[in-house]
Structure 1
Amino acid sequence: MDPSYKARKEAFVSNLAGGSIGEINAITLVAPASVLLWSVLQSRLSFFSPYTAPALVTDFLLNVLAILFATTLYASTPWTLNILLISPALLLFFTSSPPRSQQKAKPPRQSPVAKNNAPENASVSSDSLPIHPFLTTYRAAMMIITCVAILAVDFRVFPRRLAKVENWGTSLMDLGVGSFVFSGGVVSARSVLKGRNNRSQKTPFWQRLAASTRHSIPLLVLGLIRLYSVKGLDYAEHVTEYGVHWNFFFTLGLLPPFVEIFDALSAIVPYELLSLGIAVLYQVVLESTDLKRYILISPRGPDLLSKNREGIFSFLGYLAIFLAGRAVGIRVIPRGTLPSRSPQQARKSVLIRMGVQTLGWTTLFMLNSTPALGYGADFPVSRRLANMPYVLWVSAFNNAQLFLFCLLESAFFPSVYRETGKDGEGERTSFATSRIMSAFNKNGLALFLVANLLTGVVNLSIPTLDVNTAQAMAVLVVYVATITGVALALDKANIKLSL
């Protein structure tokens, strides 16, 4: 890469201050708004069943291009795009009715004999860990935003206030990094719940630690590949993001063994408190020692710790975020039905719990990071440090997103949670889930790799800083269409490579 152009590229993503949380919320609201319109079309018209060519195009427009447009052309006016999505959804909702089959769908009644014979741990049996379309949608939306941003940020059509901040502040991409980790924590709860169900076959701690370490090896290898490719190709890089050698793959790869250590404590201390405990202790150390100064402004020494201090110390914040995600997964993944609790009551309980969790994390964030009428600590958010305000912000946002997606599923596809057995579960969840969203969720790791590779190819082939808006959008549309095509192809081939 030409040295002068490389310097321009690095300056383009450096020393940024971010934007407001309100604007970030408005932009990210496009994902639930798109899912709202998709849900109305499917529940009222069965528009995506069968999955015809028009259905595919509409699915792509709603769940992929809408997110691309929200972060580029509509970034300054996100509410306009939200209104364009929500208005037809409301119009169709109030002028049509759901098919009779959905109206008449009733949950199967459990016989008294089955109730009496139900095991005490039925709430955590294999049947009690159903597939939740709202979790699929949540993770897929996060993955799509991530894939869009990692290339769009290299074009001028992507506003600088949405790119990663240098030291203090909030931005869409800062939120995306934390959300990526949080969503991994949510789905990791499924293996924990299965382990709790099979107490008679409890795996010793050292075996679980060894297994989690083996799980980390592919991610660490990818981190090394990225490191050597960036250095070998003289690719533009933002050193203050993670350090000289560190990258996000190393953070992801080191999470499983460390989480396994804290999992042993979860029988005594809930995951929420473990997450908060790590975040609080880390913040106390940052404020009471020279660690914050060391990470942000100290000259880089010759040792590896000094060269990679951002990635190494921010790992504590990402660990707290992962545990916060796992706490949510533990609460929302189980079916929650009991002989004394109907599916409707179980879903209502989940919604209330998620609403309370959202309110709780939001309150903690406001008390920690705003004046809060004179009661707040007013600590600034720092993704570079992954400090306590950052942990609280990411946790509050993702709880809110999960609540919205769960609310949409509950309103438009009640048959998903009303049925308590595995019979027909695949058909119900398929009807309530976008084909594209399902494909992105199933192959998150593969698509993340494809997105990174395509980003590198585009940046080495095109002077992204010098193209106009029309050219940038054309490249980005082809880019997201290619990733979507790969996702659907992997899904059709029944290949699954998720994070």
Structure 2
Amino acid sequence: MDSRAAAEPIPHVSPSPFPNPSAVNQTLEERLGLDLVQVYDWDWWGTLVQSGESLLLILSTLWCILLARVVCQKLRLHGSADLCYATEFLLVILPCILLVSVAVDYSGYIGLLMLVATLWFLRTSRALERARTRVQFDLGGNRPMCLSILRALTHLITAVCILAIDFGSFYRPYRKSRQFGAKLMDTGIGLFVFTMAMVSRRTRHWSDLRRSVIYSALPLILLGLARTVSILTLSYGQDAHEYGQHLNAFFTLGFTKFLGSLVSILARKDLHLLPLGFGLLVIHQFGLSVLGISDYVMNEDVERSSFLNANREGLVSLPGFVGLFLLSIYVNRWMVAKSLLTYSEFVRKLRRLFYLVLILWTSFVISAYEIGISRVTCNLGYVIWMLAIGSTTLCASFGAIDFAINSVMPWDPNPWEDHEKGLLSGEAVVKKRGGSVVPFTISQALNKNGLTFFLVANILTGMVNIFLRPEDRSHSESVIILLVYMFLATKLVHELLKRGIRLA
């Protein structure tokens, strides 16, 4: 561990939300050149290892989704929605469950196998050569398939982890960090904010703000309130170090949506979201590092005697999540700025996205060393990490689906019908004629009813904890329970998809 990271805890922290003036002056003097002593330490190398493990799991699940697309189309299963669902369940959800539990020791070998299989596919299918012969690349308008895949990935991995963590078979290093760290479960709330921004637009008028509040922010806030009331009524345990005693992820998402929409109205055009987001993050990091707010949030000696003290984690992290939201909207608007691209334009966009990924991961390494990665405060390092993971996944799926797979096996069964063009964009998910469904059936189902899926997953998680005592289950029993749990949650939204029903 870096010698600068070792530190002794301060003898006392005031229960007020901010340090006293003398403490602030002392901190400023330290930043100006006196001996710097960090109150809390972080293992920057361990953070890099944790992030690598998290990214490997995410990319492995993405690879399984791509494999399911290829298999379903090769076997011509899209004429049957149920066969397509069953195949995707076995090829996507089963590996995800195994990779966070009993098969985690083989993650590296599995990742290597996936890499070799990918190179073999590119070589035998001549995907790169075929891509050069295409007249144009249709990204699908405002909802490219790569964005839908990322949203589905976030829902699937989060749903698996929120129940799997209660079993003894769960890989403990994937658990959320208490202070600093870059573990798999730390990605949950950040990627939810990232993907929420991916389907959002910059607020241009007050009417847009009113629409965002009523249809997006308010339902999330009400769900957060319902969860808090339910937990207090049932005396169900909640870790106060995540969002506080009364707040939860729904509150964070709802207030982030509201505040992000409110701030984005200041931007005259999409490009202005960059200085707005970065400016907010710099101010937020200044408060965390210089004013000692990070120490206040993480110090367990601070009693939760008031609403602010009791929920300091959730409240203090909000500016960071709003900054992440604004920057993610800009990434989205850049991605969908033009949907029909020539080969050279597509390669240029893919190359720029790859450069962005390199810049973000370099910034992540620097942040891990200098300021740490903290989900609890959503500091600058955490926001950079979320942008890096989100952009990496977008780049991988963008190249794999739109560039490689669609060049070898395009999904266009009825090209003479205009509405078929929406299949790859997520605009049309079920064809009434013949019962044909699009590729990535489970992903499309999650995109149509993601909130419904997440609510059902939370309810099932509570029921398993109450009635099945997961801490007493063997490894094989835990896998079976997780499979049944994911089947019930995903099958529900899949049935809604088949019937063209969209709840939330």
TM-score interval (norm. to shorter): 0.7 to 0.9
The 1-side partners of 2:331 and 2:272 are apart by 11
What is the aligned counterpart of 1:174 among 175, 182, 186?
A: 186
Alignment equivalent of 2:383, drawn from 374, 386, 391: 391
Q: Distance in 2 between matches of 1:260 and 1:407?
A: 31
Q: Residue 121 of structure 1 corresponds to which residue in structure 2?
A: none
Query: Match for residue 77 of structure 1?
Result: 106
Counterpart amino acid of residue 448 in structure 1: F
Tell me which amino acid in the other structure corresponds to 1:412.
I
> 1:300 Cα shift?
2.2
Aligned to 1:120: none
The answer (yes or no) to whether the contact 1:36–1:86 under 8 Å persists in 2 is no
Distance in 2, Cα, partners of 1:390 & 1:51 = 42
Q: Aligned residue for 2:26? A: none
- Distance in 2 (CA, whole Å) between partners of 1:496 and 1:449 is 14
The aligned residue for residue 198 of structure 1 is none
Q: What residue in structure 1 maps to residue 283 of structure 2? A: 281
Shift of 1:443: 1.0
- Tell whether 2:450 aligns with 1:444: yes
Write the deviation string for residues 63-117 of structure 1: whole angstroms up to 9, x where unpaired: 222212221122232123334555556556655689xx999975599xxxxxxxx
Identity level (%): 27
Say which SS state the counterpart of residue 188 (structure 1) adopts: coil
Residue 486 of structure 1, aligned match among 478, 488, 492: 492
1:62–1:230 CA distance, 2 compared to 1 (3 A): same
Q: What does residue 5 of structure 1 align with?
A: none
For 2:298 and 2:342, locate their aligned partners in 1 and report how far apart those are by CA, in whole Å.
Answer: 51
How many angstroms does 1:266 deviate by? 2.3
SS of structure 2 residue aligned to 1:29: helix
TM-score normalised according to structure 2 size: 0.79
Call closer, same or farther: CA 1:226–1:53 in 2, change over 3 Å: closer
Q: RMSD between aligned alpha carbons?
A: 3.1
Q: Distance in 1 between matches of 2:362 and 2:277?
A: 16
Q: Distance in 2 between matches of 1:92 and 1:24?
A: 25
Contact 1:275 1:321 in 2 (8 A): yes
Structure 2 equivalent of residue 321 of structure 1: 324
Match of 2:5 in 1: none
Alpha carbons of structure 1 residues 212 and 53: separation in structure 2 relative to 1, 3 Å: closer
SS in 1 for 2:337: coil
Shift of 1:40: 3.5
Change (3 A) 1:132 1:105: same
Alpha-carbon distance, 1:39 to partner: 4.0
Q: CA deviation at 1:395?
A: 0.8
Distance 1:274 1:204, change over 3 A: closer
**Aligned AA for 2:55?**
N
Deviation of residue 211 (structure 1)? 2.5
CA distance in 1, matches of 2:286, 2:97: 39
Alignment match of 1:49 (pick from 78, 88, 99): 78
- Out of 68, 76, 86, which is 2:97 matched to? 68
1:17-416 correspondence to structure 2 within 5 Å:
20-42=50-72, 45=74, 47-51=76-80, 54-85=83-114, 87=116, 94-95=123-124, 129-189=141-201, 192=202, 204-205=205-206, 207-215=207-215, 216-267=217-268, 270-297=272-299, 298-337=301-340, 342-370=341-369, 378-409=370-401, 410-414=403-407
Q: 1:31–1:63: 8 Å Cα contact kept in structure 2?
A: yes
Gaps of 5+ in 1: 1-15, 110-126, 196-202, 371-377
Q: 1:292 to 1:274 in 2, by over 3 A?
A: same
> Where in structure 2 are there 5+ consecutive unaligned residues?
1-42, 430-436
* Alpha-carbon distance between aligned partners in 1 of 2:64 and 2:188, rounded to the nearest angstrom: 18
**Structure 2 CA distance for partners of 1:182 and 1:131, relative to 1, 3 Å:** closer
Number of residues of Structure 1 aligned to a counterpart in Structure 2 = 438
Supply the distance in 2 between the matched residues of 1:249 and 1:300 (Cα, whole angstroms).
24
Taking a change above 3 Å as real, the CA distance of residues 102 and 484 of structure 1, as seen in their structure-2 partners, is farther
Shift of 1:469: 0.6
3-state SS, counterpart of residue 236 of structure 2: coil
Distance in 2, matches of 1:133 and 1:175, equals 21
Partners of 1:303 and 1:412 lie apart in 2 by 55
CA-to-aligned-CA distance 1:106-154 (integer Å, 9 cap, x gap): 5599xxxxxxxxxxxxxxxxx9835422221121111100111111111
